[in-house]
Amino acid sequence: MIPSAEPPDGRGGFHALLGLIDLAVFLVDPELRTRPCNDHAHALLRLEPALLCRNHRLHLRRREDEHRLNGLLERAIGAEAGLRLPLGAPRHAGAGSLRLLVAALEGPAAAVLVDHPRWRRRPDPEALKAWFGFTGREAELAARLAAGLGLAEACEAMAIKETTGRGYLKAAFVKTQTENQAQLAAFIHRVCAGFGLRRFESSPPPRIVRLNKSRAVHDPNEGARTERSARGFVGVGFTGKQGGVGTTKPNR
């Protein structure tokens, strides 16, 4: 029996809750039969060529990805509830990527959670301009990259040539002292997490402190410390009255 997306009392509260999540949610039974559980799941099946549901089974375009997914589902079903097994599955060529997570549920059953790049919250470009000194176009590009888009897809959305986008990207590298697109996106998210912000536009932007090599300074007016290595900024920590400074370790 395919698991239901509704609780036993039939009030529909669980389905309503799933509608608030920016993820596609699928429930899977021990026979690997699958049920899409929210609007994002139905939309994903209509729009995403890398993933489909046929004969109540979830399929991925790449055979090796599908084998991995089925293996994770078999591990999760019957396992202790709460087990989470990540799997990333490429989308069609030229675009970003889906992120899949298999979670064990009581039942036994499992859930497949799918994150699509278009559902990821995009940082506010105005905040990025204030934080890093980006121009408007640099900030817009950086925000799209931080939201999970690839360079080609971000440039297409901005209606600019990819060569122009690469110029903006190089300027963003210099201003954040990062070296590649992955570092830039990770650094933007690290800054956001360091200041305890879920969304960039929810608070006024703090000041980012420029540092000399191998030094970390702390701005008493903002209560934050930014740390960098010789390779560039590596993290931001938030300091409060009741604790020390939290920092992130540099990437190797």
Same domain? For 160 and 94 the reply is no
pLDDT: which is higher, 159 or 233: 159
Q: Compute the distance between CA of residue 159 and CA of residue 73 in angstroms, rounded to an integer.
A: 40
For residue 66, being part of any structural domain is answered with yes
Tokens coding 155: 């440039």
Query: Which of 94, 119, 144 corresponds to the end of one domain?
Result: 119
**Rounded-to-integer distance, Cα 118 and Cα 128, Å:** 19
pTM over 0.85: no
Q: Where are the alpha helices (DSSP H) in the chain?
A: 13-18, 39-47, 63-76, 125-132, 136-146, 151-158, 162-176, 181-194
Q: Is 103 found in the same domain as 174?
A: no
Domain-embedded: residue 155: yes
Same domain as 132, residue 173: yes
Letter string b/e over residues 19-37, b meaning 16 or more CB atoms within 10 A of that residue's CB: eeeebbbbbbbeeebbbbb
Q: Give the number of domains in the chain.
A: 2
**pLDDT 10s digits, 72-114:** 898 888 787 767 777 765 444 334 567 788 888 887 889 898 8
Asked if pLDDT for residue 170 goes beyond 80, the answer is yes
Of the residues 119, 142, 164, which one is the last residue of a structural domain? 119
3 has pLDDT over 90: no
Residue 147, token pair as written in the block: 């939201």
Q: Residue 82: give the domain boundaries.
A: 13-119
The answer on 195 and 175 residing in a single domain is yes
- Which long-range CB contacts under 8 A does 43-50 form with residues at least 24 apart? 44/114, 44/116, 48/91, 48/98, 48/116, 49/91, 49/92, 50/89, 50/90, 50/91, 50/92, 50/98
User: Which tens digit of pLDDT belongs to each residue from 210-222?
Assistant: 443 333 333 434 4
What digits encode the pLDDT tens for the residues 196-215?
444 444 344 444 444 433 33
Question: Over the chain, what is the mean pLDDT?
Answer: 70
Task: Give dist(CA 232, CA 223) in Å, integer.
Answer: 21
CATH number of the domain residue 86 falls in:
3.30.450.20
Q: Which residues contact 32 (CB under 8 A, 6 or more apart)?
A: 57, 58, 70, 73, 74, 77
Residues 224 and 194: beta-carbon distance below 8 Å: yes
pLDDT digits (tens, 9 = 90+) for 129-166: 888 899 999 999 998 888 777 898 889 989 999 999 99
Would you say 205 and 130 are in contact if contact means Cβ atoms under 8 Å apart?
A: yes
